[in-house]
Amino acid sequence: MEETVEIKEGLQGVYITKSSICKVDGQEGKLYYRGYKIEDLANYSSYEEVCYLLLYGKLPNSKELVDFTEKMKKEREISEKTKDIIRKFSKEAQTLDVLRTAMSSLSADDGKPYSDNESENIEKAIKIIAKTATISAAIGRIKDGKGILEPDNSLNHSANFLYMLTDKKPDKDSEKLMDIMFILHAEHSSNASTFATLVACSTLADIYAGVTAGVAALKGPLHGGADEAAVKMMKEIGSPDNTENYIEEALAGKKKIMGFGHRVYKTYDPRAKILKSYLDKIKGNSGGEINKLIEISLRAEKMMIDKLGKSHGIWPNVDFFSGPLYLHLNIKPELFDTVFASSRTVGWCAHVIEYWRNNKLFRPLEQYEGSVDLVYKNISERS
Ligand code: CMC
């Protein structure tokens, strides 16, 4: 007789561990990194400070921040072997596929990829965070038919990333916006990619294997690919006056609107609120095309909230307004998920380091529905 078991599809509602890294309050629409409100971190902090906070569990003092920033700068360069990997991919390759392979190559440059020492793993995490930004910018350059640029250590992490991508040092406003994009995407508890990272590392695979698994899981449109899909939709809508018709038809055809809905948030994602506030700030300084996308996004947001917000708990998530903001920073849609991955490296690493304090191999069960004890026939006897 078949055993009765409860299956939690998509592990919905299942707690996998205890963590002090990130709290997502999906009912109230609140997000905290190590107890600090995301709004405060976005307004007053920097990506470097947030990385320190996530990895060490406390905000740094001035000296600690200077030392940490210097350490990150020293780790920005990538090896010729990694650059070759990026150059060898075809220009048609998807950027996240290139990142996955290039990131995997980082372990080859580490004489001892696995360590059970927490301080050593924090050093590896710093290396991964710094180098992934360089890799991401290099992928963007090669995709555009341009040469890879070396990091500029007079610039902070965000400004340097934009410089390595565009060959232009950004102004203060663009630097701040890029920093906010990095901060908002830095961490988000046990989402699919973080869980994938933990599953890989629960086997005591090294931290590089973990983040590579994270990149793989981030790829899909239900996770890291949603911002690119959202911008694609805004472009398809084409004109602001077409927004309501388009959304109406899409919903009638049971299509999902990318950048809306969340497994945990049943209200407005606080990261989306912060990003929305930046749309107004860039509107005056962006080209006509971006302004049009902003208008479309705001009309789509209003309509979705009216139709599905309160009634179905489907609200804008972090991926909805990111697109126009990335475009404003001269980041092309095909690079969005790669930039997301580059921001998230710190969250993935912080979780691995925490999980290894009390590691337990992930090994869930499935309810078997197939046959047993079938008679094995020789191939010549099979119909
Ligand atoms: N547009 C229209 N309907 C939606 C949407 C949406 N964006 N999201 C969920 N629904 C509907 C869905 O069709 C389903 O309806 P029904 O019960 O009638 O079949 C119901 O809501 C439940 O959806 P689900 O997909 O089963 O629920 P979930 O908890 O697995 O969904 C989600 C979470 C993020 C996968 C989903 O909301 C979604 O696919 N959203 C679009 C993709 C997206 O924006 N992803 C980024 C998430 S946030 C950043 C990140 O994690 O990377």
Written as one string, the DSSP assignment of 133-160 is HHHHHHHHHHHTT-PPPPP-TTS-HHHH
50: which 2 tokens? Answer: 């947030």
381: which 2 tokens? Answer: 């006897």
- Full domain range(s) for residue 241: 226-328
pLDDT at position 2, please? 63
pLDDT at position 1, please? 59
Centre of ligand 1 from the C-alpha of residue 222, in Å: 7
**pLDDT tens readout for residues 298-341:** 999 999 999 999 899 999 999 999 999 999 999 999 999 999 99
Say if residue 198 is in the same domain as residue 259.
Answer: no
Q: How many CB atoms lie within 10 A of CB 334?
A: 15
Say if residue 64 is in the same domain as residue 158.
Answer: yes
pLDDT at position 34, please? 98
- Residue with the smallest CA separation from ligand 1 atom 23 is 261
pLDDT at position 240, please? 95
Most informative mutation of 190, 193, 314, 315 for ligand 1 (most atoms within 8 A of CB): 314
- Residue with the smallest CA separation from ligand 1 atom 28 is 263
Helix (H) or strand (E) holding 375: none
Instruction: Determine the atom of ligand 1 nearest the C-alpha atom of 218.
Output: 52
Measure the CA dihedral 91/127/206/31, to 10°: -90
Residue 180 placed within a domain: yes
Say if residue 307 is in the same domain as residue 352.
Answer: no
Dist CA 259 CA 331 (whole Å): 18
Q: Which long-range contacts (CB under 8 A, 24 or more apart) does 276-282 make?
A: 276/301, 276/316, 276/321, 278/177, 278/180, 278/321, 278/325, 279/321, 279/324, 279/325, 281/173, 281/177, 282/177, 282/324, 282/325, 282/328
pLDDT at position 284, please? 73
Residue 166 placed within a domain: yes
Tell me if 101 sits within 8 A of 138, measured CB to CB: no
Helix (H) or strand (E) holding 370: none
Query: What CATH number should be reported for the domain holding residue 245?
Result: 1.10.230.10
Say if residue 97 is in the same domain as residue 231.
Answer: no
3-state secondary structure (DSSP) of residue 239 = coil
135: which 2 tokens? Answer: 């890799």
C-alpha closest to that of 82 among 156, 166, 148, 152: 148
pLDDT at position 283, please? 82
Centre of ligand 1 from the C-alpha of residue 261, in Å: 5
Say if residue 122 is in the same domain as residue 80.
Answer: yes
Say if residue 270 is in the same domain as residue 346.
Answer: no
Q: Which residues of the chain have pLDDT under 50?
A: none
Pocket of ligand 1 (CB under 6 A): 10, 191, 222-224, 226, 256-263, 314, 317-319
Overall domain count for the chain: 2
Centre of ligand 1 from the C-alpha of residue 5, in Å: 26
Can you tell me which residue has the tokens 């509602």? 13
Can you tell me which residue has the tokens 């890294």? 21
Phi, psi dihedrals of residue 172, rounded to the nearest 5°: -60, -40
C-alpha closest to that of 52 among 62, 43, 60, 40: 60
Instruction: Determine the atom of ligand 1 nearest the C-alpha atom of 254.
Output: 13
C-alpha closest to that of 150 among 73, 245, 89: 73
Residue 7 placed within a domain: no
Centre of ligand 1 from the C-alpha of residue 304, in Å: 13
Query: What CATH number should be reported for the domain holding residue 141?
Result: 1.10.580.10
Centre of ligand 1 from the C-alpha of residue 92, in Å: 29
Most informative mutation of 222, 223, 315 for ligand 1 (most atoms within 8 A of CB): 222
Dist CA 67 CA 57 (whole Å): 16
Report the predicted TM-score, pTM, of the whole model to 2 decimal places.
Answer: 0.95
pLDDT at position 195, please? 98
Catalytic residue list: 262, 319
Residue 42 placed within a domain: yes
